[in-house]
Chains A and B, each alone.
Chain A
Amino acid sequence: MRSKINAGEKLYVFFCYFFIILLCVTILYPFIYMVSASLSSTTAVMRNKVVLWPVEFTAEAYRVVAQYKGIWTAYANTVFYTVVGTLINLAFTILAAYPLSKKRWGARKLMSFILVFTMWFGGGQIPFYLTMKNLGLLDSRIAVLIYGAVSAYYVIIFRTHFESLPDSLEESARIEGANDITILMKIMIPLSKPIMAAIALYYAIGRWNSYFWEMMLIQDEKKLPVQVILQRIVINSQLSEDVASALTAGQQSFPMTIKFAAIVITALPIICIYPFLQKYFVSGALVGSVKE
């Protein structure tokens, strides 16, 4: 009897480990395959010789992608949108969260409703596009920076955090004559660094990964972020002239290896920073779930 229970228990624990390992392999394998394929020869990829490691190792695909000026411009644009955009996000989020955390603020309920309502209901794609158009914001970098300036979700997380800080801090500062701006800058923000880092990271990832409105709002090639360029290369198979000339004569479209190289280049920064900032990724997720 006893051994039967033990066998069942072992089977259960084995299944738990098996499930976790299976999931991790399923997650990692596509990335590993993609990197290896991008570093293999085109023929090896086409003949499905690549299993795990690069076959007939060559960096040719990256050489071709590197010659495509468009991708570097797009990369620079994405870095710009991510850095400046995240700063705007943080500024707006804090400016919204701090007043909303103050119970003494008379407009608190109304303003809270104005924010939260947008999480439930919105105009949709078309009125938003027409608004941007009517404001003359089409095809401008400002449009990309401003359209997602603040997320009500992160405002609420930040507000909850501000509410959790002791009132005594504010009171003692007030006795010394500090106003709200000084209190926010000198006391509240320094006490909020961990949560600020987590929220900034989530905003930054969102900025880096965003493609839809950039695709809709921007026509000028020189202002497009890298996600839209990747979409054109892989999904629409659009050949840009400088890439076409970098390809060997006779090729009609991008070989698989070049597309893989383009995907790797786009995803690489996220994958590279991920292990190092992992703790903020998880704390950001937990802040969100604890709130509920």
Chain B
Amino acid sequence: MSMPAAELELLGPPIKGPSALGSDWRRFVRLTWALATTDFRLRFFGSALGYLWQLMRPLMLFGVLYAVFSQFLKFGGDVKYYAVALLTGIVLFSFMSEATVQSVRSLSNRENLVRKIEFPRLAVPMATVLTSLFNLALNLVPVFVFLLAAGARPRWSWLELPALVAMLALFVLGISTLLSVLYVRYRDVEPIWDVVLQMMFYASPIFYTASIVRDKAGEDVLRLMMCNPFAMILQQTRHAIIDPSHESAASAIGGAPWLLVPLFIILAVVAIAYWLFDRAAPRIAEDI
């Protein structure tokens, strides 16, 4: 049975059902913000030392790694501000690992919302990444404190930081979106991603430096390593924030044009993630 055409015209288009972004971007932004700030507050109000614990986690890891590599293995002695460089790596990696690991189950954890109200589905992984971004902002405070305490002076290149963080956040958002939607269908995404994260930790110059890779493994290995967007962003952050003696990402990868490779990877991950998520969005409520 179908409606008379004249009446259909008055009604306007039929409703579309659930989607990734929804029809009203302001609602999308508000929801993402509300979800992210709520999570953030909960983590802080949950315990008396909320803020301290948030700082402690990367600092503890930093303490262990620093003791092992710097004191016992006599590692990084010739690297300027090695401690701060290590901390920077840990803080950025913590952001990536926290955001993505939390995102994997984000849709299932918010099942109640997904099944009970209409809202843009992408707000869920987006909010998870945003919460981690707040934490990153907090964790960057000790980085700068350590840096200034170690004797560094502010430089204009510090202004690169927001752009670098934004790039990393985009990459992380892509991964998070991808993982969250895959998890709805395939539950073993979770352990797989844990392993991949471990690999990324060791395959990125977090506790070692680019120059060590070049010396020990050769130019090609370093260039390959820099194709990983995370490694590239970390390297550039060290160059811009800590000291120019840490080589820039462009130099590490063997020339600025090569930077297009990690940049392309970021965009590809985001594009694939969005495409998959958008395709799955109408059925997420029933598939969870």
Binding between chains A and B: no
Interface residues of B (CB under 8 A from A): none
Interface residues of A (CB under 8 A from B): none
